[in-house]
Amino acid sequence: MRHVRRHTGIMTVLAIVVLLLGACSSMRSDFVKRPSKALPPATGTPSGRYIHAVVGQHPDQSGFRLLTLSNNALMSRVALADHARHSIDLQYYIFDNDATGRLVAQHLLAAADRGVRIRLLLDDINVHDEIDMLNALNAHPNIKVRLFNPFHTRDPSMLSKTTQFLLDAHRLNRRMHNKSFIVDGNVAIIGGRNIGDAYFDAGNDTNFRDLDLIAIGPVVKDASRAFDEYWNCDAAIPVTAFHGKHASHYNLAKLRVDLAHDARAFAQSDYAQATLDQLPNGPSADRPGAWFWGSATLVADQPAKIDAADARDERSLRIGPQIKSMIDQAQQDVLLISPYFVPGDSGTQYLTGLVTHGIAVKVLTNSLASTDEAAVHAGYSRYRRTLLEGGVQLYELRPATGVEQPATAKGASSGVSLHAKAIVVDHELVFIGSMNMDQRSKLLNTEMGIIVDCPQLAEAVTQFFDTAILPASAYHVVLTAPGAQMQWQASDDGKPVIYHHDPEASMKRRLEVDMLKLMPIEGML
């Protein structure tokens, strides 16, 4: 009983600390939250008429364009916002208050001025400097902003955030990792990219290699339905639910001025010029062009996944079984792309079992030098040898030339880092979405994506994979003989090179990973 009382006393003290730290910005109990649903697809707009006509030529199928180029990925979102006439629904893990985030915000605000209804749902874990911009946007009568699974105080200090984690770790450790951008109920962008410089090749230090799909057809309605489930769930809280820091009309007016200034600076940048040079040959949703067509399934975890009492409840809320069912159909080969790859014992056994049955399995993930999460690499490295011994082929993305991730990266990346999440089965079935092949995506975060039966799309993703694993771009990790040491094979200037430990990673960074491997944190990776 003494231990129970001591624990209770500590929790009481921590709770008082949270209240004191957040007294001026704690969550109200009387906030208003009105449910809403996706508006019907717009059919009277130019984009709507085009999409309706082209979808009508492919009954029961959805159309897709693959966004591999970062410039196209950004400007496609901007173009969709500019052509919106009725609604825009956005759901993201990260929406940074940086050049590209503010560019998207400006175009959302312009759409709202035209009468477009905008619903923006963001996971709360990464909302810091963004809160003023989000509050100002929410002051617009046509824009509503909600935060998923928020802290009990708005913009908490590090001490407050740490204390709240200690008090409520089971809830706060579960995050919404979904990513979707749905316009007029007709077109959606779904994939791996968040909103921020790092995801569109506009970052000074961080540039992720990623994949998105522009989708039209029946799968968009399913995406809208999934958005509604999250928007109306108990974990989605309006930004107005917190005391203090409410945007006034003045703040919205000031935001307009600031965004207009930022837009001029962005338009004059080399990045903007490169985008303009590239976009005419890239995809946009309202111009006739080539689409990949196939039957598609929108897969999305249920928002209740963050509240599930035990693993038995969670299994019915997760998309993992649907992804496994897709891979189970493999007869020839499986390509896996995952920046954070921690298969665990069961996943390792499953993948090596596929190889035993004559199925080629290839995995592309980050190298130690390119990853932005050393702890994840520590988890992955535990299974690397077993995977290789079981016949799984491993490729690790190389960083930019001469650039290594810093020790204790703390989520900040340098150079080039893989962020795409995709699976290709037998050159026919494709998954693209937000889900990594790790324990966090499986058990803790909510995730979403699209499974498509389309050989042409599968070929396009395979080309992305094959280009990424070229010796100049990736290390091929191999065992030269059973029981031998691992080797990392690559090429520099066309000449083969071989490394005998994690390449281009300093001793300090390798030591960091060795220390992390000793910690029991795999279930959180």
- The domain limits of the chain are 33-281, 298-524
| CA gyration radius, the chain | 23
**Annotation says 345 is catalytic:** no
pLDDT for 483 equals: 79
Give the per-residue pLDDT at 69: 87
Long-range contacts of 317-322, Cβ-Cβ distance < 8 Å, separation of 24 or more: 318/442, 319/435, 319/447, 319/448, 319/449, 320/442, 322/297, 322/451
State the residue for tokens 């792309």: 337
* Rounded CA separation 465/508 (Å): 31
Residue 413 confidence (pLDDT): 40
Q: How far apart are CA 287 and CA 402, in angstroms?
A: 41
Catalytic residue among 254, 307, 426, 427: 426
Catalytic-role residue among 98, 184, 212, 502: 184
3-state secondary structure of 192: coil
Model confidence, pTM: 0.89
Which one is catalytic: 86, 107, 419, 442? 419
Q: Is the sign of the CA dihedral 214, 220, 222, 226 positive or negative?
A: positive
- How far is the C-alpha of 85 from the C-alpha of 184, rounded, in Å? 7
In this structure, whether the domain defined by 33-281 belongs to CATH 2.60.40.420 is answered with no
Q: How far apart are CA 59 and CA 125, in angstroms?
A: 41
Active site residue 30: no
Residue 179 annotated in active site: yes
| Contact by Cβ (8 Å): 453, 428 | yes
Active-site residue, from 107, 179, 305, 362? 179
Q: Measured between alpha carbons, how far is 48 from 306 in angstroms, rounded to an integer?
A: 36
**Which residues, 6+ apart, have CB-to-CB distance to 46 below 8 Å?**
83, 286
Task: Count Cβ neighbours within 10 Å for each residue of 504-516 and write b for 16 or more, e otherwise.
Answer: bbeeebbebbeeb
- The SS3 of residue 264 is helix
Region 298-524: CATH code: 3.30.870.10
pLDDT value of position 65:
92
Which pLDDT belongs to residue 250?
Answer: 57
Question: What gap in Å lies between CA 211 and CA 363, rounded to an integer?
Answer: 16
Point out the catalytic residue in the list 86, 362, 377, 421.
421
Specify whether 128 is catalytic.
Answer: no
Q: pLDDT averaged over consecutive 10-residue blocks of the chain (525 residues)?
A: 38 45 60 93 90 93 93 89 95 95 95 98 91 92 96 77 82 93 97 95 84 96 98 95 61 91 77 61 50 97 83 72 97 98 97 98 96 92 96 94 42 71 98 96 94 97 96 95 90 95 88 83 69
Please give the pLDDT value at position 265.
Answer: 77
As a whole number of angstroms, the distance between CA 444 and CA 245 comes to 30
Contacts of 44 (CB under 8 A, 6+ apart): none
pLDDT at 117: 98
Q: ∠401-402-408 over CA atoms, to 5°?
A: 115
Of 102, 268, 132, nearest to 196 by C-alpha is 102
Q: How many CB atoms within 10 Å of residue 518?
A: 8
Instruction: Please check whether residue 509 is in contact with residue 404, taking contact to mean a CB–CB distance below 8 angstroms.
Output: yes
Residues in a beta bridge with 119: 89, 144
The pLDDT score that the predictor gives to residue 433 is 98
